[in-house]
Amino acid sequence: MKILVQGKTQGIILKSQHPINFLGTVDKKTGIISDKNHDLFDKSIKDSILVFPNGVGSSVGAYTIYSIKSNNTAPLAMICQKADLTVATGCALANIPLVIVTDEKFLSLQTGQKISLDTESLNPITFL
């Protein structure tokens, strides 16, 4: 596991099988995904532990992550399978904990599970 942005939180997983393009497909006021072709279409990422493979699209998407945090519509934490600079810098700007997990761990995380994330802990992800 790689820790990109440190932090501690707990919450309920919202998992996407698709990469997320934060610029243009996340409504900044509500945190709702507006891309009809996305598997999280019409769902809000607000206050979730957002689990998704990786970010895609313009690096300006990092500002979107910063905006949703300022509007209180951001996830509590993000967990990805692959590191990408847009999500990494976006979470760093917004101070949202971000970790990269192994493929095996990624598979084991499912929507609805309640977990605790603590990047200082030896075992950062624990199921509650």
Among 56, 109, 103, 106, which Cα is nearest to 84's? 56
Taking the C-alpha atoms of residue 53 and residue 92, their distance in angstroms, rounded to an integer, is 18
- Residues in 15-44 that interact with other proteins by CB under 8 A: 28
Q: Give the position of tokens 């497909």.
A: 25
Does 98 participate in binding other proteins (rule CB under 8 A)? yes
Annotated active-site residue in 16, 44, 48, 58? 58
Q: Give the position of tokens 């990805």.
A: 80
- Residues in 72-91 that interact with other proteins by CB under 8 A: 83-86, 88-89, 91
Does 102 participate in binding other proteins (rule CB under 8 A)? no
Taking the C-alpha atoms of residue 27 and residue 100, their distance in angstroms, rounded to an integer, is 24
Does 92 participate in binding other proteins (rule CB under 8 A)? yes
Please give the residue ranges that form the binding site for other proteins (CB under 8 A): 2-6, 28, 58-60, 62-64, 66-67, 70, 83-86, 88-89, 91-93, 95, 98, 100
